[in-house]
Every structure is written in C-alpha cells, then in structure tokens.
Amino acid sequence: MTMSMIDCVRTFASLADCLSGPCGGFTIAPTTCATITTGYAVSVHPEHEKIITRRVTALDLHHYVSTVRDALALPGRVFGGWRDPDTGSIYLDVSMVTPSLAEALELALRYDQLAVYDFATGESIPVTAPVPAAA
C-alpha cells in the first residue's frame, strides 16, 4: 500500500516533531511509513547522509526523501533520522535494519560508520564493539 500525499505530509510533520527532542529519532519503511522497532539499524549510504543544524520541518524531510528516493527504493532500505543530544544536529540517512548484530557491525565497518542502533535497548553500539560469533 502506498501513502497518499496528505498522509505523507502528516507523517513528515510528525517525524519532524520527533526530531525536536534532545534524543529524538525515527526509522520508517519508505513505502508504508511504518515505524521500525526491532533489529539493528546501520547507515549504508554515507553519500546520502544529511546533517541539519536547525529545527527540521516536514518540508525538509519531504525534500530529503525526494532526493534519495532511488536509494530508498533498493531492497531492505529504510529512512532514518536522529538528533545528536550533544550538538543538537539532525542526521538524516538511508539505512538497513538486520536482526543480526554481527551483520550490522560488519555493514557499519564496510560503510565507515561509527555505530549501529539497537532498537531493543534504544542505544547505539560503537563499531569498536566486539563482533559476536555467528550462532
């Protein structure tokens, strides 16, 4: 199911609000805008990372998604945004979510990322963390 333009505008407004808190963030499926709540997220398109140093608007999010739509159309890609509590900067990116921490850390190394996000704990895991052995 695809979202109507009105639904997308409402979703972008809600997502922009999520980024206004000190530790705000979101990860959504690009075709349904469903919130991702399990697994490990890692940015896999560093060329599409966007940093915004002011309050983000729905229009900012719409513009970003329009710019990276080809990357978001790739299998397994999700749209993420988070606010760095130390700097207040907003980061937008195209990520993948995997159920495996080992796979997430390997992807993070491959794409020169500093951390992966664990939805279960709500915390970032530094790429320097030991990679768990495959089960």
User: What are the DSSP calls for 54-122, one per residue?
Assistant: S---HHHHHHHHHHTHHHHTSTTEEEEEEE-TTT--EEEEEEEEES-HHHHHHHHHHTT-SEEEETTTT
Q: Which of 1-5, 14-18, 109-113 has the lowest mean pLDDT?
A: 1-5
Domain range holding 72?
5-121
Are 119 and 38 in contact by the 8 Å Cβ rule? The answer is yes
CA distances from 40 to 51, 100, 112 (A): 21, 7, 16
The better pLDDT of the pair 9, 80 is held by 80
What residues form DSSP beta bridges with 129?
none
Is 130 part of a structural domain of the chain?
no
Is 35 part of a structural domain of the chain?
yes
Bridge-based pairing of strands 77-83 and 90-98 is antiparallel
pTM: 0.83
Q: Nearest Cα to 10, choosing from 58, 55, 57?
A: 58
Q: Nearest Cα to 93, choosing from 54, 58, 52, 128?
A: 52
Is 133 part of a structural domain of the chain?
no
Tens digit of each residue's pLDDT (9 = 90 or more) over 66-97? 899 899 999 999 999 998 888 889 999 999 99
Which pLDDT band, with edges at 50, 70 and 90, does 4 fall under?
very low
Is 128 part of a structural domain of the chain?
no
Q: What is the CA radius of gyration of the chain?
A: 14
Is 42 part of a structural domain of the chain?
yes
Tens digit of each residue's pLDDT (9 = 90 or more) over 86-128? 888 999 999 999 999 999 999 999 999 988 999 999 888 988 8
Is 134 part of a structural domain of the chain?
no
* Domains contained in the chain, number: 1
Tens digit of each residue's pLDDT (9 = 90 or more) over 17-41? 888 877 788 999 888 888 899 999 9
Is 87 part of a structural domain of the chain?
yes
